[in-house]
Amino acid sequence: MKGLKFISTGRAIPEKAVTNDDMSRIVDTSDEWIRTRTGIAQRHFCTRENAASLAVSAARQALERAGISPEEIGVCAAATVTPQYASPANACLIQAALGLAEDTPCFDLSAGCTGFLYGLEVMRGMLTISPKRYALLVGGEELSRVMDMTDRSTCVLFGDGAGAAVLALEENALWAATLGTRGNSDILSVDAVGKGPSYIHMDGQGVYRFAVEVIPHCAKELLNQTGLTLEQVDWIVPHQANRRIVETAAKRLHLGMDKFFLNIDRYGNTSAASIPIALDEMVQEGLLRKGQKVMAIAFGAGLTWGGALFEW
Ligand code: UT7
C-alpha cells in the first residue's frame, strides 16, 4: 500500500498573545477556571494577520523547507472552518501567493477540527492520480472572527493559527487511517456566512463525551490496521481541545501522558490547524525524529473523527 511521507512542515501564529487574564477582562472568567478545566494559558488572535495570510505563511514555510519548486506541487488543499472568503478557497489564495502552477487543483475542505486528517487521506487519493510528486496541505483558522465574546463557555477556548505540510506518496510507507462522522449539527456548529454575525455554538459536555470515546476508538482502529501495539508508537498527537480530554483518553488506553504531545497551553484550540501546528513544533523542537511512529487523532464539528498512523 502507498502511504504518505511528510517532507516538511511549517506554521504561522499571530503575533498577539491573549492571556487568560486578558480574557477575564472581556467575560466573567478567571485564569484558574480556564487552566484547570482546559489546560489553556493563552491563545493568539489575529490583529494584522488574517485567515489568508496565516495559511499562506505556513504554506510558504513548508514549501521552502521542502526545498522544492512551486511547480512540483500537484495538489493544494486547505482545511478550515474560517476561510478568508466563502469563495474563493484559501487554497486558491495560496496558489497565487506561492506561484503554484495554474493546472494545480486547489480547494478547501471542511471537516471541523478533523479537517487536517481528512485532508491527509484526500491528498493520498489525489496524489495517486496526479502527474506530480508532492501535495501541499494546510490547516488554518481565524477562529477569533467567529467567537461570541459574550459567551464565556466558548470564547476562552479557541485561538488563531495555521500549520502546513508538504507530502509525498511512497510505496510501502507505513500508513493507516480512519475517518468518520455522526452527521450531527446540534452539539457543535459555526453559523453560515451571510445571515448576520457568524458564531460558534457548542454543547461543551457533548463534545467532551464524544472526544473521550473516539480517541481510544481511533487508536485501536489504527493499531488493528497495522498490527502495531501502543508500545511501538512513539508519539500520539491529539487534537488540542482540552488537556482533560487527553488525560481521560490516555487513562482509557492504559497509557501515561508521556507519549501525548500537548501545546494547548500556548495556542488554545486552533481547530483544523491544531495537528499541523503541533507536528511542526515537535520537529522544530527536535522531539519528532526520522523513523518515529506517530499517531495523530482528531475530533470536531460534524461530529467528525479521524486518525492517521505513519512513520516520520
Ligand atoms: O474541537 C472541539 C471543540 N470543543 C471542545 O473541545 C469542547 C470540549 N468540552 C470541554 O472542553 C469542556 O466541556 C468545557 C471546557 C467547554 C467546559 O468544561 P466543563 O467542566 O464541562 O464545564 P461545564 O460546562 O459543566 O460548566 C461548569 C460551570 C458552569 O457553571 P455552573 O452552572 O456550575 O454554575 C458554567 O457556567 O462553569 C461555568 N463556566 C465558566 N466559568 C468560568 C463555563 N465557562 C466558564 C468560563 N469561566 N469560561
The model's pLDDT over 252-273, given as tens digits with 9 standing for 90+, comes to: 999 999 999 999 999 999 999 9
Which CATH entry fits the domain spanning 175-311: 3.30.70.260, 1.20.120.1760, 3.40.47.10, 3.90.105.10? Answer: 3.40.47.10
Question: Ligand 1 centroid to 204 CA: how many Å?
Answer: 6
Residue nearest to atom 14 of ligand 1 (CA): 204
Question: Ligand 1 centroid to 231 CA: how many Å?
Answer: 33
By most ligand atoms within 8 Å of CB, the mutation choice from 22, 184, 242, 303 for ligand 1 is 242
Confidence band for 209, pLDDT divided at 50, 70 and 90:
very high
Ligand 1: atom nearest CA of 202 is 4
Between 70 and 197, the more confident residue is 70
Ligand 1: atom nearest CA of 207 is 8
Ligand 1: atom nearest CA of 38 is 15
Cβ–Cβ under 8 Å, residues 97 and 60:
yes
Is domain 2-171 annotated with CATH 3.40.50.620? Answer: no
- Where are the domains positioned within the chain? 2-171, 175-311
Q: Give the pLDDT mean for 97-113.
A: 98
Q: Give the pLDDT mean for 166-178.
A: 97
Q: Classify each residue of 38-66 as buried b or exposed e, where b means 16 or more C-beta atoms within 10 Å of its C-beta.
A: bbbbbbbbbeebbbbbbbbbbbbbbbebb
pLDDT given at position 195: 76
Alpha carbon 219 to its chain's center? 17
Instruction: Give backbone dihedrals phi and psi of 205, rounded to 5 degrees, phi first.
Output: -70, -30
Instruction: Give backbone dihedrals phi and psi of 269, rounded to 5 degrees, phi first.
Output: -90, 110
Question: Ligand 1 centroid to 181 CA: how many Å?
Answer: 23
Residue nearest to atom 16 of ligand 1 (CA): 204
Q: Does 205 score more than 80 pLDDT?
A: yes
Confidence band for 297, pLDDT divided at 50, 70 and 90:
very high
Closest CA to 243 of 21, 66, 72, 36: 36
By most ligand atoms within 8 Å of CB, the mutation choice from 22, 28, 35, 37 for ligand 1 is 37
Q: Is the Cβ atom of 38 under 6 angstroms away from ligand 1?
A: yes
Q: Is the Cβ atom of 300 under 6 angstroms away from ligand 1?
A: yes
By most ligand atoms within 8 Å of CB, the mutation choice from 25, 38, 208, 269 for ligand 1 is 208
At 266, list the grid cell.
500556548
Q: Is the Cβ atom of 205 under 6 angstroms away from ligand 1?
A: yes
Q: Do domains 2-171 and 175-311 have the same CATH topology?
A: yes
In this prediction the pTM is: 0.97
pLDDT tens digit sequence for 130-146: 999 999 999 999 999 99
pLDDT given at position 254: 96
Question: Ligand 1 centroid to 200 CA: how many Å?
Answer: 14
